[in-house]
């Protein structure tokens, strides 16, 4: 642990902790835009500048590690710079809400009372179209914080996205100007999960919920694909009762807010028109026909009991599934053993 002075108060923090985190633990919230705990310190947006005694110029709290005896001031003149910096970003920021995602820049502007003094005449960057149908990018909302590109490089360790152009023309593009579908990109959507302004955002095949972002109801649950057990939030439109998107949170233990392409984007099967919505029973014509639950259950029971009477319980097998919950699998083996009278319950996941 080291001790240092933060806005006149003596505080302590583990040696090597980033100043922005140490300050937050002591109740001093220094705004950031380019910072992400998943990524290496970057210090790009300068929103977190603080005064450090003895330093020739203000330093970014997101890239400064705490040191014994350092004297930090977050509320001096430098703090006022934040409003100016925010206004400069707003002057280039044409699309406040693409894809309906939350926007950390406009939130910050509201907090600081900052407004765009004017819009820069050359602020409109060349729009970017991509033939993938999962993610979109709106250069007009991009503040070039580099979180997306750093995510691909540091977390995914692939070269999916790069900066292109300079100055007012700069924007983020898939490597070599290919489509997202043709680069190393694995379509995990990690780039959009770290984007502070929603410049990279989900595309919504089932219609855009733009503007309703904050009205979506989140349900925390466990992903249904592989065995990692990523914790996810189903974002459900309360009116249509459909999943609009899937998000996660860095605080979730097993996956730290990261997801893969399936976890983030493969939820539309839930609402697919091919879903079975009524019980089916096979008719005399050899085809399956809709039936009531009572009818289907009593037919199923009669069929099973008939086989049991003719051939014994051992002639009945059950195949359970890793798709099911623990509770459902427990009930299935209870049904096999305690009701039908056989131990023949297994699954296709014998491995």
Partner 1 sequence: MGRGASTNSIPEIEDCRFLLVIGSNTTEAHPVLALRMKKAVRKGAMLVVCDPRKIWLTKIAKRHLQLRPGSDVWLINAMMHVIFAEGLQDDAYIAEHTEGVEMVREIVSRYTPEAAEAVTGVPAEDIRATAREYASERHAAIFYTLGITEHACAVDNIWSLSNLVLATGHLGYESTGLNALRGQNNVQGLNDSGANPAYYPGYQAAEDPEVLRKFSEAWGGVELTETPGYRLDQILSGLYDGRVKALYLVGENPGHTEPNAKHAAEGFEQLEFLVAQDLFLNELTEKYADVVFPASSFAEKDGTFTNTERRINRVRAGVPCPGEARVDRDIVVSFARALGADWPEYPDAESVWNEFADLSPNWNGVRYDRLQETGLQWPCVDRDDPGTRFLHAPRPARPNGRGKLWPVEYQPPIELPDAEYPLTLSTGRTLYHYNSATMTMREAGITDKQEDPFFEISVEDASALGLSEGDWARLVSRRGDLEARARISDRVYPGLVWMALHFAQAKVNWLTHDVGDPLIGTPEYKVSAVRVERASR
Q: Which of residues 244-273 bind partner 1 (CB under 8 A)?
A: 253-256, 258-263, 265-272
Cα separation, 159 vs 175, whole angstroms: 7
Burial 101-120, CB ≥16 within 10 A → b, else e: bebbbbebbeebebebeeee
- Sign, CA dihedral 191-193-196-200, equals positive
Question: Which residue's CB is nearer to partner 1, number 32 or number 255?
Answer: 255
Considering the rule CB under 8 A, would residue 18 count as an interface residue with partner 1? no
Considering the rule CB under 8 A, would residue 37 count as an interface residue with partner 1? no
Segment contacting partner 1 (CB under 8 A): 28-36, 51-59, 207-215, 313-321?
Answer: 313-321
Question: Which residue's CB is nearer to partner 1, number 81 or number 210?
Answer: 210
Cα separation, 344 vs 351, whole angstroms: 17
Question: Which residue's CB is nearer to partner 1, number 118 or number 277?
Answer: 277
End-to-end CA distance of the chain: 48
Find where tokens 């349900």 sit: 219
Nearest distance in Å: CB 214, partner 1: 17
The single residue among 81, 123, 187, 210 that binds partner 1, judged by CB under 8 A, is 187
Dig out the tokens for 14 from the structure.
């583990």
Nearest distance in Å: CB 130, partner 1: 11
Segment contacting partner 1 (CB under 8 A): 16-24, 84-92, 164-172, 321-329?
Answer: 321-329
The single residue among 280, 284, 285, 309 that binds partner 1, judged by CB under 8 A, is 280
Question: Which residue's CB is nearer to partner 1, number 51 or number 256?
Answer: 256
Question: Which residue's CB is nearer to partner 1, number 170 or number 288?
Answer: 288
Residue 143 exposure: Cα atoms within 13 Å on the Cβ side? 29
How do 71-73 and 2-6 pair as beta strands? Answer: parallel
The single residue among 25, 176, 212, 220 that binds partner 1, judged by CB under 8 A, is 220
The single residue among 178, 222, 239, 245 that binds partner 1, judged by CB under 8 A, is 222
Nearest to 39 by CA among 156, 142, 141, 139: 156
Question: Which residue's CB is nearer to partner 1, number 105 or number 336?
Answer: 336
Cα separation, 107 vs 128, whole angstroms: 25
The single residue among 181, 207, 215, 250 that binds partner 1, judged by CB under 8 A, is 181
205 near 268, Cβ under 8 Å? yes
Question: Which residue's CB is nearer to partner 1, number 52 or number 223?
Answer: 223
Find where tokens 């009572």 sit: 294
Question: Which residue's CB is nearer to partner 1, number 63 or number 266?
Answer: 266
Nearest distance in Å: CB 154, partner 1: 7
The single residue among 55, 120, 170, 301 that binds partner 1, judged by CB under 8 A, is 301
The DSSP code sequence of 91-146 is TT---S-GGG---HHHHHHHHHT---S---TT--PPP---S-SSEEE-GGG-----
Question: Which residue's CB is nearer to partner 1, number 75 or number 314?
Answer: 314
Segment contacting partner 1 (CB under 8 A): 27-35, 55-63, 87-95, 280-288?
Answer: 280-288
32 near 47, Cβ under 8 Å? yes
> Considering only residues 142-161, where is the footprint of partner 1 by CB under 8 A?
154-157
66 near 3, Cβ under 8 Å? no
Helices 104-112 and 77-90: crossing angle in degrees, nearest 10, is: 130
């Amino acid at each position: 642990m080291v001790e240092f002075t933060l806005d006149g108060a003596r505080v302590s923090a583990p040696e090597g902790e980033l100043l922005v985190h140490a300050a937050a633990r002591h109740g001093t919230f220094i705004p950031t835009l380019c910072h992400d705990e998943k990524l290496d310190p970057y210090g790009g947006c300068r929103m977190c500048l603080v005064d450090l005694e003895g330093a020739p110029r203000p330093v970014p709290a997101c890239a400064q590690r705490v040191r014994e005896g350092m004297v930090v001031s977050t509320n001096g003149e430098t703090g006022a710079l934040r409003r100016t910096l925010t206004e400069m970003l707003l002057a280039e920021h044409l699309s406040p809400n693409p894809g309906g995602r939350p926007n950390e820049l406009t939130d910050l502007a509201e907090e600081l009372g900052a407004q765009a003094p004017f819009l820069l005449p050359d602020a409109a960057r060349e729009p970017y179209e991509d033939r993938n149908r999962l993610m979109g990018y709106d250069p007009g909302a991009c503040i070039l914080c580099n979180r997306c590109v750093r995510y691909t490089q540091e977390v995914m360790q692939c070269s999916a996205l790069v900066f292109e152009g300079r100055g007012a023309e700069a924007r983020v593009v898939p490597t070599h100007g290919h489509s997202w579908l043709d680069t190393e990109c694995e379509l995990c959507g990690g780039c959009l999960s770290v984007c502070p302004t929603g410049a990279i955002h989900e595309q919504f095949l089932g219609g855009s919920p733009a503007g309703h972002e904050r009205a979506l109801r989140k349900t925390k649950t466990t992903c249904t694909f592989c065995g990692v057990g990523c914790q996810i939030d189903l974002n459900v439109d309360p009116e249509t009762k459909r999943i609009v998107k899937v998000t996660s949170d860095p605080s979730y233990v097993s996956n730290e807010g990261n997801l893969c392409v399936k976890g983030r984007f493969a939820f539309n099967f839930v609402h697919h028109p091919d879903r079975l919505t009524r019980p089916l029973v096979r008719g005399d014509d050899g085809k399956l026909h809709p039936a009531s639950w009572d009818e289907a259950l009593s037919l199923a029971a009669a069929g099973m009991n008939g086989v049991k009477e003719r051939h014994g319980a051992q002639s009945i097998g059950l195949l359970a599934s890793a798709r099911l919950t623990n509770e459902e699998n427990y009930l299935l083996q209870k049904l096999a053993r305690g009701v039908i009278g056989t131990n023949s319950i297994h699954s296709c996941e014998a491995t």
